[in-house]
């Protein structure tokens, strides 16, 4: 985990360590090394990861099921589903993340609440650019899903069915996004480019996630966060990521169970860790009256689709990124998405 989350956990961990009479270190650890370390009996006993790592971790025998404890009934069902497979729960979710609309209030003024892309366009007449969206499927998925597109469908037993690929069902959403790019409402580019234009006030709107709050605050940008605007009367359904606490298969079982029960499965801990990086708390009682930037992400996360937590997602990103770029260059969305879907089918075939 990063330093912010480590600091939020530190007082709770210190209290547990004193009561249990054990030494507990909170450290940052390279995620790519966790599965390998667990397989050899090393590495962290408990670690933070996103829900889409569940199936790959489980396939390597790196994690074990855990009990959600007293907080279970009060956790977001979507968050719980994201860490559940085959009837077993493998992590305690604490925060959800998705993209939302950043509004540069230095540029357009306070109190601006654009709820449609048409209203966004009307506010941009005096600006060089309007709505910045980083290139690639992650940030643009909501447009595909708005017309019924999806990556992998749900599996009856939990998780995702990699044989049910619905990318080509997002044609109308992709076509609408292409029109927004063509008429100047939306511009795409590298992450750094769209962020820089937002900071400079050249583009008053930006679609991205909660990780950008602190950098903007640090450089003094005055901004607000709103739910994603609707598109032709339809709701954008962005990708949702869920951050959660996993227990290593190499952890001492009794001690790990105590740590989960006495530290992680506590409302105040889940709320504290989610709040430090503006993620939406998975603990539902923490949401009413939620203030600050995190409040702007609640609606977007509530409307979203979970990122499929399967290894086959690695075969999705590049074909879809290329398809979206081709659509913005004038290629018919139907052909572009069908070709991308066929590429994914070939790459994920048994």
Q: Report the CATH number that the domain containing residue 275 is assigned in CATH.
A: 3.40.190.10
User: Is the model's pLDDT at 38 over the cut of 80?
Assistant: no
Q: Does 259 lie in the same domain as 195?
A: no
Looking at the structure of the chain, the number of domains it has is 2
- Per-residue pLDDT tens digits for 146-175: 999 999 998 877 789 999 999 999 999 999
Buried b (16+ CB within 10 A) or exposed e, 116-127: ebeebbebbeeb
Q: Does 207 lie in the same domain as 330?
A: yes
pLDDT given for residue 165 in this prediction: 95
Q: Does 269 lie in the same domain as 187?
A: no
Least confident range of 81-90, 165-174, 196-205, 295-304: 295-304
Kindly report the number of other CB atoms within 10 A of residue 314's CB atom: 11
What is the Cα–Cα distance from 85 to 144, expressed in whole angstroms?
26
Q: Does 251 lie in the same domain as 270?
A: yes
pLDDT given for residue 5 in this prediction: 86
In this structure, what token pair is assigned to residue 10? 């530190």
Between the CA of residue 259 and those of 21, 86, 101, 192, 220, what are the distances in Å? 12, 24, 37, 40, 39
Q: Does 279 lie in the same domain as 158?
A: no
Asked if residue 142 is part of any domain, the answer here is yes
Asked if residue 141 is part of any domain, the answer here is yes
- Per-residue pLDDT tens digits for 167-194: 999 999 999 999 999 999 999 999 999 9
Range 240-260 average pLDDT: 90
Best CA proximity match to 20, nearest among 254, 269, 270, 264: 254
Q: Does 149 lie in the same domain as 219?
A: yes
**Residues 6+ positions from 259 with CB-CB distance below 8 Å:** 16, 24, 45, 46
Q: Does 141 lie in the same domain as 87?
A: no
Question: What is the extent of the structural domain holding 181?
Answer: 100-237+316-348
Q: Does 135 lie in the same domain as 171?
A: yes
User: Is the model's pLDDT at 217 over the cut of 80?
Assistant: yes
What is the Cα–Cα distance from 33 to 287, expressed in whole angstroms?
34
Q: Does 129 lie in the same domain as 273?
A: no
Kindly report the number of other CB atoms within 10 A of residue 110's CB atom: 9
Q: Does 141 lie in the same domain as 108?
A: yes
Comparison of pLDDT for 61 and 343, the residue scoring more:
343
Phi and psi at residue 146, to the nearest 5°: -65, -25
- Per-residue pLDDT tens digits for 101-117: 999 999 998 888 889 99
What is the Cα–Cα distance from 321 to 347, expressed in whole angstroms?
15
Q: Does 223 lie in the same domain as 200?
A: yes
């Amino acid at each position: 985990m990063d330093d912010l989350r480590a600091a939020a956990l530190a007082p709770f961990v210190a209290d547990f360590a004193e009561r249990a009479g054990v030494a507990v270190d909170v450290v940052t650890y390279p995620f790519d090394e966790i599965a390998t370390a667990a397989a050899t009996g090393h590495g962290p006993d408990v670690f933070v990861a996103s829900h889409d790592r569940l199936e790959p971790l489980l396939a390597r025998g790196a994690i074990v099921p855990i009990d959600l404890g007293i907080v279970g009934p009060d956790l977001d069902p979507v968050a719980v589903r994201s860490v559940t497979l085959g009837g077993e729960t493998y992590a305690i979710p604490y925060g959800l993340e998705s993209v939302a609309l950043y509004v540069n209030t230095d540029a357009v003024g306070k109190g601006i609440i654009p709820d449609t892309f048409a209203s966004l366009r009307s506010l941009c007449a005096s600006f060089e650019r309007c709505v910045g969206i980083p290139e690639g499927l992650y940030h643009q998925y909501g447009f595909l899903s708005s017309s019924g597109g999806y990556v992998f469908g749900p599996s009856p037993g939990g998780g995702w069915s990699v044989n049910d690929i619905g990318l080509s069902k997002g044609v109308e959403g992709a076509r609408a996004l292409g029109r927004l790019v063509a008429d100047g409402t939306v511009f795409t580019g590298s992450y750094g480019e769209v962020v820089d234009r937002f900071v400079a006030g050249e583009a008053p709107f930006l679609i991205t996630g909660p990780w950008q709050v602190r950098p903007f605050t640090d450089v003094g940008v005055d901004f607000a966060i709103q739910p994603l605007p609707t598109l032709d009367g339809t709701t954008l359904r962005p990708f949702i990521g869920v951050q959660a606490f996993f227990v290593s298969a190499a952890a001492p079982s009794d001690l790990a169970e105590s740590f989960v029960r006495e530290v992680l499965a506590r409302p105040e801990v889940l709320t504290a860790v989610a709040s430090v990086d503006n993620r939406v708390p998975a603990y539902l009682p923490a949401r009413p009256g939620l203030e600050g930037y995190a409040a702007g992400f609640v609606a977007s996360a509530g409307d979203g689709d979970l990122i499929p937590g399967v290894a086959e997602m690695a075969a999705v990103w590049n074909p879809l990124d290329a398809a979206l770029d081709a659509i913005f260059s004038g290629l018919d969305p139907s052909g572009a998405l069908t070709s991308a879907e066929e590429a994914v089918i070939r790459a994920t075939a048994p």
